[in-house]
Amino acid sequence: MAYFRSFFGGGGVESEEEDGAEIVEKMVERAETCTALEDRRDAFRALRGMAKKLRLAVGTMGLNVYMEVLEKERSNQELVAITLEILVAVLSSDDESTDDDELGERLAEVMLKKPVFIPSLLAAVDDYDITVRRVGIQLMTSLLRHRGPEVQAAVMAQPTGVPHLVDIVHDRREVIRNEAVLMLCELMLLQIQQLLAYENTFVHLLDIIDTEPLDSIIIEDCLFVILNLLRKNTMNQQLFRENNLISRLGVMLNSFLYGSEEEETDTGEWVKQRTANIIFLLQVIRSMVSPDNVVTNTHAAQKALHQTKMLAELCRVLLSEMGLPVEVLTETVIAVAEAIRGNYTNQEYFASTSLITNENMNRSSLVVLLISMTAEKQPFKMRCAVFYCFLSYLHDNEFGKTKVIETLLPANQPDTALSTGSLICQVSMGNRRVQMRAGVLMLLSTWLKNCPPAVAAFTENEDNLHYLTTQILDDCGEGTESEQQVLKGLMAFLLLVCLESVEDANLRSSLEQLVERRVGKEMVIGAVEGLSRTEQFVPHLLKMLRPTGEFNGTASNDSIIQSFKDLIKRQDEEIAVLKQEAKKSAAQIEQLKQASDKSALEQEMESLRKKLQESCALNSQTESMQIQVQEMCRVNEQWRGEAAKYKQWAEQWQQYQIAQLPNPTETAIQYLQQQVQQLEQQLAYGYQAFEDYGKATAKYATDCAEWKRRAEAAEADLAKEKESNKQKNAVENGESGQSELALLKAEQEDLLVLLADQHNKITQYRNRLKELNEVVTDDDDD
């Protein structure tokens, strides 16, 4: 597990996750080793239940078992379905977005590295069992979302990979068919549009649309697939047109606008999904006649739109009062614009269409569009679309340009009706002072931001500051109340920009005093806050940023959710960066700790070296003391030898003298007295030597014990650094010192025994003298 955690970038594992990983490991082992089918099925079900919570453990530990089931046990449909559900669960995150699901991408990469995975998955998708096929398609969709290019290459490497996926759309079971459409949506993002087009994908998808209700989301998915197949793909556009499928788009458009025969006509508000569906349909039509396409394809598609009466239907939508949503009407205007752009026949047909008003006045389509462009209440996007349609009418249309110019020239008969020229003049000469002032204020704010020289030049002219301060207090002139609030807010913002960007402290102080005296801080802050509550500011704040301008059928509230998702994503990225920095800091701290520990270890080694040197010195002193002890022992041995020799001589001499003397008793007594005196002297010398020797021995024993204690302390310190050899020598030295001490003690005891024997003999001699009636002094007794 440590390997997989390092591979997938996982952090520390809590105790619960460790317990869960152990359970997963046991379940995988049970699924792999059990022979009973029920036990294996129960193990797979348990893994399926833990797949959402323990994605990494379930996905990695049992991957080999899953591959074996998909490859070798295809006949067991229940087990295969459970296995596919496990793989779908480990690839799906709780978050709706899969862009940041790094774990899912890693698991998908590991799965795709198994050679048997894609063939087994295609076989499961080809299985007719509803559960196996449905879950197999879901797994294929998840893989395409995570690892699109790899899955594309693997599917195309199979002989009939793409045809099998397209054939699933023919499945009559609605669940399977809808899942297949979602899978095709993911396939559309890859470079296999040509293969899908040749597999009659257009026909299959249009057949599905015919069977669905008008407000079905399945229609949106199918149109999304068709749109991606046609967009900027010349071969697919030609194939779509040659199969006469544009006429089917006209029938579909008529059904969306007026409803089918089976459904009742709905005169109320349009359902949002139905609005999204018709907008996707109009975008499919635009993809056929887009100016970005090849010119020949565009002209052929424009001709087909005119022949199939679809252009007439679109023009009728523009001139009718059907109560269509603004988004649908805007998309219809753009579709008409691109259908007539550069095509004289379509341009003349568009100009020939007209609207009969309530006053029985006949107004051409150009006039109707220009009226909507000059209307203040029309949305800005709608007015831009109308302007684009007018430009498309004039594109490569010399006759149309001439007709427009003629409406600008004076006529012989006065005509009170609106004309194209008058409406163009009205647009060009219209009073939009509020917008101009707002644009100038935004330009100045951008110009003066972080530009002190520009601020200095702007504030030098007192008229500028006077104008700004007076306009904030008074009404800004023309415009609605909301527009006036916008102008006040922009002026207050411009003053704050000047205060922020000025460098001179004196100038800033004087400017602050001027604003405080003329306007007041509360008024400036209130003007800026009021700008954020205007109807011009709030819609743009909540508007979703769509570079392509596509409509996805979601409400404006979804833009707020998306903005929060983007904010959370940015915060997650910042958190990831902070985590990386924290890891780097932790690594640096660990390196510093290792360096500190190394220095402390070196200091400890130095102290141990000193202790070792002291121990070596103590060992040398102990050795010198041992030499001295050995020398004393040798002297003691010599002394004992001399004493024994003298004793032997004394006994021999005594016997000889007693044998030679005439009065042996008296002579013997005298001789014994002399000998006793000599022996007493020798005994006194012996006692004195014994005492000196005892003191020396005690001193040596104390010193030896002290050296032994120091040696043992040094040996303990050396043991920490595993200095076995030096420790062994120190121990041996200590043991040899103890053995020498024991030897000295034994020799001392022998000497004491010898002295005791000599003392006993002296005592016997005294007693013998007393028996012979010889006088023995007190000194002799002592």
**Can you give the pLDDT at residue 135?**
92
Predicted confidence (pLDDT) at residue 282 exceeds the cutoff of 90: yes
Looking at domain 192-410, its CATH class is: mainly alpha
Which CATH code, of 1.10.3720.10, 3.40.50.410, 1.25.10.10, 1.10.10.10, is assigned to 1-187?
Answer: 1.25.10.10
Greater confidence (145 vs 769) lies with 145
Confidence of residue 591 (pLDDT cuts 50, 70, 90): confident
> Mapping DSSP to helix (H, G, I), strand (E, B) and coil, where does residue 128 land?
coil
User: Over the stretch 49-79, which tens digit does the pLDDT of each residue have?
Assistant: 998 888 888 988 889 999 999 988 888 889 9
pLDDT digits (tens, 9 = 90+) for 394-410: 898 888 887 877 776 55
- Condensed to tens digits (0 to 9), the pLDDT of residues 313-341 reads 999 988 887 778 889 999 999 999 999 99
How many C-beta atoms lie closer than 10 Å to residue 717's C-beta?
Answer: 17
pLDDT > 90? residue 300: yes
pLDDT bucket at 4, cuts 50 / 70 / 90: very low
358 pLDDT higher than 80: no
Flag whether pLDDT at 138 surpasses 80. yes
Q: Is the pLDDT of residue 778 over 60?
A: no
What residue ranges do the domains of the chain occupy? 1-187, 192-410, 433-553, 604-781
> Counting runs of H as helices and runs of E as strands, what totals does the chain give?
37, 2
Check residue 552 and give its pLDDT: 45
Rounded average pLDDT over 686-703? 73
pLDDT of residue 413: 47
So what's the pLDDT on residue 360? Answer: 61
Q: What is the pLDDT of residue 551?
A: 42
509-566 pLDDT tens trace:
888 888 888 888 888 888 888 887 777 776 666 554 444 444 444 444 555 566 666 6
Query: What gap in Å lies between CA 448 and CA 490, rounded to an integer?
Result: 13
Q: What is the pLDDT of residue 776?
A: 62
Among 233, 245, 156, which residue's Cα sits nearest to residue 200?
Answer: 245
Amino acid at 19: D
pLDDT in tens, 415-469: 545 666 556 665 555 555 677 778 888 888 888 888 888 888 888 888 888 888 8
Secondary structure class of 418 (helix, strand, coil)? coil
Instruction: Note whether 226 and 277 are within 8 A (CB).
Output: no
pLDDT at 502: 82
In the predicted structure, residue 26 carries a pLDDT above the cut 50: yes
Cα separation, 160 vs 286, whole angstroms: 33
Give 427-432's long-range contacts (Cβ < 8 A, gap of 24+).
427/370, 427/373, 427/374, 430/374, 431/478
Mean pLDDT of 602-617: 81
Say if 192-410 and 433-553 have the same CATH topology.
yes
Summarised one tens digit per residue, pLDDT across range 207-225 is 889 888 888 888 998 999 8
In the numeric block, the tokens 């199939």 are attached to 308
Q: What is the pLDDT of residue 303?
A: 94
- Token pair for residue 636? 């003691």
* Range in 81-85, 254-258, 641-645, 712-716 with the lowest mean pLDDT: 712-716
- Kindly state the DSSP code that residue 474 receives in the 8-state scheme: S
pLDDT digit string, tens, across residues 638-666? 888 777 877 778 777 767 766 665 665 66
pLDDT at 311: 92
Residue 217 in tokens = 């989301």
**Residue 193 pLDDT greater than 50, yes or no:** yes
Closest CA to 573 of 70, 99, 52, 91: 99
CB-count exposure of residue 599 (10 Å: 0-12, 13-18, 19+) = exposed
433-553 carries CATH number 2.40.30.40: no
What pLDDT is attached to residue 666?
65
Q: Is 519 within 8 Å of 473 (Cβ atoms)?
A: yes
| pLDDT for res 548 | 41
Mean pLDDT score across all residues of the chain: 78
CA distance 454 to 441: 14
Measure the CA–CA gap between 716 and 524, rounded to whole angstroms: 81
What is the rounded CA–CA span in Å between residue 364 and residue 110? 64
With contact defined as beta carbons under 8 Å apart, do 314 and 339 qualify?
Answer: yes
How confident is the model at residue 11, as a pLDDT? 47
Is the pLDDT confidence value at 706 over 60?
yes
- Confidence category of residue 9, pLDDT binned at 50, 70, 90: very low
Output the six-digit token pair for 295.
């010119």
Tokens for 425? 């003049």
Whole-angstrom Cα distance, residue 676 to residue 681?
8
**How does DSSP assign 342-376, residue by residue?**
T-HHHHHHHHH-EEE-TTS-EEEHHHHHHHHHH-T
- One-letter amino acid for residue 694 of the chain: G
Confidence band of 231 (pLDDT split at 50, 70, 90): confident
Closest residue by Cα to residue 424 from 378, 367, 353, 352? 367
Q: Is the pLDDT of residue 698 over 80?
A: no
- Indicate the burial class of 339 (C-beta count within 10 angstroms; 0-12, 13-18, 19 or more): buried
